[in-house]
Chains A and B, each alone.
Chain A
């Protein structure tokens, strides 16, 4: 089955630690996205990538970093510079940016908690 997988499902971070969230898709989609979801605030865009080896900052990129070395993978690192990282993180992908039918698909999410 095609889809998006995220791991781990739950992640705990100590103060000062960097942690990496995994996102993999087998949909052959070109574009991938990372969103953060907080209660009562909706989803906010962290980073997105249109093609391999290219990515752009979203609305709340500070304290986060990404890489896109393979089409299938778009890992997100939450660095120690992110002061309030406790949230639900969602990865998404779309077929192609110029496609006329550009439905966005989401993974199951990773819940990150700072201890």
Chain B
């Protein structure tokens, strides 16, 4: 199985400051179809996960533009340009390129 390793696992951030979460895979996530199936999800306390980013850098409809995704191969990053109070929660990366689908351990973002 492809192992997804996120860092940090805990991320205290001051309101208005940027935040960055790293996600590294144990194998390249480039599929034979040429696409990279790396997604990012946000899970607010007590809620279901919500997808923010798909195929590395495509933002879902309704997701604020302060969220952005980047990376390639085995190294990916979710960035929040200015953290707001509503961003508190746990963030997960997920790969769908290789079978079985696997998630990162999660990064808990809190306000400092």
Question: Are A and B associated in one complex?
Answer: no
A residues with a Cβ closer than 8 A to B are none
B residues with a Cβ closer than 8 A to A are none
